[in-house]
Amino acid sequence: MPLSWLHTKKTAQGCLGIELNHGRAWAVHRTDRGVISSYLPSEDDDGLASLGEWIKDHKLTGIPVVVCLDSTRYELQLVESPPVPAEELSDAMGFRLAELVSDDVSDKVLQAFPLPSDAYRGRMTMAFAAITERSYLKEIVTFCREYELKLDQIIINEMSALNLLASVDPDDSVAVLRLEADAGVIYLYRNGALYFTRQISLGTDDLGLSSLNVSEGGMMMQPNSRIDVLALELQRSMDYFESQLGLGAIGQLWVMKPDNIDVTDALGEIEDRINTPVRLMSLESAFNRQEDEIPLTASLAMALGGALGYDLGN
C-alpha cells in the first residue's frame, strides 16, 4: 500500500526520485529505460540547494518527482489499529497523536498503514504510524515549487525499499539490511508488504571493514570485526518474524550496497552465522543505464525506489 503525504498524477518525461539522508540529497532520473543520470552530494553539501543546481543544469524542471524522507526526520511506530477502513486509518489515528509523541504535536503530521491481517497470527490488528514535522514537509514542497518540479509523492524509506522489492518480486520472505557508517536498519517483507522494521546502532565503521585496501584486492576484515554482533541483531529480528509474527522463516537476506564502503567480503561471514542465504541487492542490470556507470548504492537505490512508485504511463 502506498504511503504518501501528497499524491497527484501523471505525465512522462520520466520521473525524478530524491532520497534525503542525514541532511543531504541523492537523486536519480528514471525513464522507461531505467536510471539515466544521478546526483551524489559532496561531503559539504547541506540540504537541497546543490541538488537544485543539478536539476537546472540537467534541464529537469517540470519533471514529476517522488521524495523519500530523511529517516532521521520521521518516527515510525507500531501501534494497535482502530477498526476502520485503511483509507480512514490516518485520520482515525491522528486523534492519538498526542499519545504517540513526547513533544508538541502542533507541527506534527501522521500517516498510517495497516499490517497485513496474518501478522501476529491474526490475534491483533496492528498498524504503522509514520510521524514527521509539517514544517519539514513544507520545506520539500517549497523546494519543488522553486525548481518547478511536479511533486507526486512524499514517502518513507520503508515504502521505497518495498518498491524495490516489488520490482524483483521475490518468492520468499525477505530481510533487507541497510548499513551506514554508524547505524543500520533492518526491514522484513513478505508478499508485497512490510511487517517489521528495526533500527540498529551498528554500522560499517563498527564492522572492521577497511575501504583503503583496493590495491590489495578489495576490502579486508579487521581483527576487531563485530560481524557476530550484527549477526545477532539480524537473527533476533528474523526470529521475531518467525515466532512472534507467526510468519515462518525468512528466506533470504538482501544487503543494500552502502554508500561509503564495499561490504561484499563480509556477506559470506554473515551467511555462516545466520544460516540464511545472503546476497547483495544488485539493481545494476535491471535499472542502471548511466553512461558513467555510477553504482546504485543505498541512497541512490532508495531514490530509485521512490521513482519506481511513479507510473510512467507506458
Instruction: List Cβ neighbours of 208 (8 Å cut-off, separation of 6 or more).
Output: 221, 222, 223, 224, 225, 226, 227
Counting other chains too, the contacts that 85-93 makes at CB distance below 8 Å and 24 or more residues apart are 86/1, 86/113, 86/114, 89/113, 89/114, 89/127, 93/127, 93/129
Determine, yes or no, domain membership for 179: yes
- Give the whole-number percent of the chain exceeding pLDDT 90: 66
- Measured in residues, the chain has a length of 314
Determine, yes or no, domain membership for 223: yes
Most distant pair of Cα atoms in the chain: their distance = 59
Determine, yes or no, domain membership for 164: no
The structural domain count of the chain equals 1
- Enclosing domain of residue 219: 169-281
β-bridge partners, 113: 128
CB 132 within 8 A of CB 73: yes
Instruction: List Cβ neighbours of 118 (8 Å cut-off, separation of 6 or more).
Output: 246, 247
- Give the whole-number percent of the chain exceeding pLDDT 70: 90
Closest CA to 254 of 220, 230, 280, 225: 280
**3-state DSSP call for residue 209?**
strand
Give me the helix-helix angle, 227-239 and 264-274, nearest 10°: 50
Determine, yes or no, domain membership for 263: yes
- For residue range 10-35, what is the model confidence (pLDDT) as tens digits? 444 899 999 999 999 999 999 999 99
Q: Residue 165 pLDDT more than 90?
A: yes
Determine, yes or no, domain membership for 202: yes
Q: What is the pTM of this model?
A: 0.89
- For residue range 181-231, what is the model confidence (pLDDT) as tens digits? 999 999 999 999 999 999 998 999 887 664 433 334 444 444 446 888 999
As a whole number of angstroms, the distance between CA 254 and CA 244 comes to: 22
pLDDT at 311: 87
- For residue range 236-275, what is the model confidence (pLDDT) as tens digits? 999 999 998 999 999 999 999 999 889 998 899 999 999 9
Average pLDDT, the chain: 88
As a whole number of angstroms, the distance between CA 158 and CA 165 comes to: 11
Determine, yes or no, domain membership for 241: yes
Q: CATH number of the domain that 209 lies in?
A: 3.30.420.40
Instruction: Give the residue carrying C-alpha cell 522494521.
Output: 197
pLDDT at 46: 81
Q: Residue 96 pLDDT more than 90?
A: no
Determine, yes or no, domain membership for 267: yes
Determine, yes or no, domain membership for 57: no
